[in-house]
Amino acid sequence: MRTTRRALAAVVSAAALLVASGCGAGEDDATASTVEVFTWWAEGGEKAGLDALVSRFTAACPGQEFQSGVIAGGAGVNAKQVLNARLQQNDPPDTFQAHAGAELLDHINAAQVSDLTARYEAWGLTAALPAGLIETLTVNGKLWSVPAGVHRANVVWANDQVLADAGILVAPKNLKEFVANLEKLRRNGIESPLALGRDWTQLMLLEAVLISDLGSKRFNGLFNGETKWDGKPVRTAIDDFATIVGYSNPDRDSLDWPQAEQLLIDGKAGYQMMGDWVAADLDQKNFSGYDSFTFPGNGKTFQWLADSFVLTTGAANPAGAECWLRTVASPEGQQAFNARKGSIPARTDAPTVGFTDYQIEAVEDWKSGTPVPSCAHGSACSQPWQNAANAALGAFSTSGDAAALQAALAAAARQFVRQP
Ligand code: GAL
């Protein structure tokens, strides 16, 4: 696959050179160079966001053609495996989607991604991105990816009708009220009132419960060694998490987030805890009977994650990939992408034209809330740490063994934590 694509790119580049130098055979050089952009945005709101970015890229980068390297699967569960295999075989796409933060570490250490520090100045990113985000993106004093947008993870999505039928009219303010509502829904005939999916979606739920029980400061400490994973407060959170999981669909381990979301749309569940890509997806699916609120007990905590793009060191078409990155970095690119993706621009100066009321609120919350990173989406954890956490959650979903879950999470932290 790589050989074919690279060979094609080489032929195309050679042809372009010939034409540029006047040595061509007089044929027109209609063949564009392709830029392979590797993502996991295959359908629904995710694809709508990507498509909007592609339109901008096509307009801004004449002679370059978008080539989709997409591998479906929420949070990149499948894409990351394929990507790693390709990188190991020295078959990189020109650019790939990655989360800002710790998740990029392995790629940086393996010299698979290029230093983009100089582009930050050139593209106005140094001035336009929030300082905290630049700090998170900086590794070894350099910048390695261009953020496209910021998502909020700690949100609960609700089916208005299902809740109204059970007489639930206000959002729960804390875990106790949330559990009471879940119980009420069950008594009202909704057997599995919380729509839940596989391992990483369960990790998201656990993280949200940890934020409620520990507060943002101690939650942050879980990822820099300041908060103990094997202490009593984490055990309390795991017990609360177990109670909440008890209200979820028993087939959770076989569902990705859009399938869990379908339970919400179909009125089989009242709530789904998931990042705010859900809004864009529900809109794509023409479902408007929903509402959302910050996870109960999370207060003003904004659990963030950022999608970003890198330039691979082995890119077959680095100039094309750079034009893709410049599009991602531009205010217009960020507006187009985020308006459809449900996230908010990473740039503080990007226009918010076409944003939903939810997104406008999210822009405000991002400015005024307390930011905490996400392990499930790479801003807090390295990839091996995230894998270990997902495996621990998957095992717990079957066994229900809270002590084993805590021990596994504590062991992962001991192995992978980086001191501040
Ligand atoms: C996240 C990603 C989001 C969204 C989500 C579900 O990891 O950052 O953009 O795609 O996964 O797939």
pLDDT digits 0-9 by tens, 4-55 = 344 333 333 333 333 333 333 333 345 679 999 999 999 999 999 999 999 9
Does residue 261 line the site of ligand 1, with CB under 6 A? Answer: no
| Contact indicator for 223, 416 with CB cutoff of 8 Å | no
Is there an atom of ligand 1 within 6 Å of 195 CB? no
Return the ligand 1 atom nearest residue 74 CA: 12
pLDDT at 32: 75
Q: Which helix or strand (DSSP H or E) is residue 303 part of?
A: strand 301-309
What lies within 8 Å, CB to CB, of 121 at 6+ separation is: none
167: Cβ–Cβ under 8 A, 6 or more apart, which residues?
Answer: 184, 188
The CA distance from 351 to 333, in Å, is 10
Sorted by sequence, the CB contacts under 8 Å of residue 16 that are 6+ apart come out as 29, 33, 63
Q: Strand pairing of 33-39 and 64-70?
A: parallel
Look up residue 62 and give its two tokens: 């004449």
| CATH, range 155-302+374-416 | 3.40.190.10
Q: Which residues are 95's β-sheet partners?
A: 37
CA dist 420 and 418 (Å) reads 6
As a whole number of angstroms, the distance between CA 42 and CA 284 comes to 13
Choice from 305, 328, 374, 387 to test ligand 1 binding pocket (greatest atom count within 8 A of CB) = 305
Give Cα separations from 128 to 132, 183, 272 (angstroms).
12, 46, 33
Say whether domain 33-151+306-365 belongs to CATH 3.40.190.10. yes
Q: How many whole angstroms from 106 Cα to the centroid of ligand 1?
A: 19
**Biggest CA-to-CA distance, the chain:** 78
pTM: 0.92
Q: Which atom of ligand 1 is nearest to the CA of 257?
A: 6
Query: Is 386:376 a contact under the CB 8 Å cutoff?
Result: yes
Beta-carbon contacts of residue 398 (< 8 Å; ≥ 6 apart)? 253
Ligand 1 atom 8, closest CA = 307
Measured between alpha carbons, how far is residue 294 from residues 13, 43, 123, 131, 269 in Å? 50, 25, 34, 24, 18
CA of 286 to the centre of ligand 1 (A): 20
How far apart CA 142 and CA 125 sit, in angstroms, is: 13
Q: Would you say the CATH fold of 155-302+374-416 matches that of 33-151+306-365?
A: yes
Would you state the pLDDT for residue 12? Answer: 36
The pair phi, psi for residue 222, each rounded to 5°, is: -65, -25
Distance 26 CA to ligand 1 centre (A): 46
Q: Which atom of ligand 1 is nearest to the CA of 305?
A: 8
pLDDT value for 277: 98
CA-nearest residue, atom 2 of ligand 1? 75
295, with CB counted inside 10 A (0-12, 13-18, 19+), is buried
For the chain, which ranges sit under pLDDT 70? 1-31, 419-420
Among 255, 307, 374, 390, name the best residue to mutate to test ligand 1's pocket (greatest count of ligand atoms within 8 A of Cβ): 307
Work out the angle at residue 38's Cα, subtended by the Cα atoms of residues 36 and 43, and round it to the nearest 5 degrees: 115
Taking Cα atoms as reference points, which of 334, 387, 374 lies closest to residue 152? 374
Gap from CA of 146 to ligand 1 centroid (Å): 16
Of 177, 207, 218, the residue nearest 374 (C-alpha):
207
Q: Does the Cβ of 197 fall within 6 Å of ligand 1?
A: no
Q: Which sequence spans correspond to the domains of the chain? A: 33-151+306-365, 155-302+374-416
Helix axes 402-416, 383-399, angle to 10 degrees: 170
Q: Is 74 in the pocket of ligand 1 (CB under 6 A)?
A: yes
Residue 331 contacts residue 348 (beta carbons within 8 Å): no
b/e per residue 296-321 (b: at least 16 CB within 10 A): bbbbebbbbbbbbbbbbebbbbbebb
Query: What is the per-residue pLDDT for 420?
Result: 52
Ligand 1 center–CA 122 separation, angstroms: 28
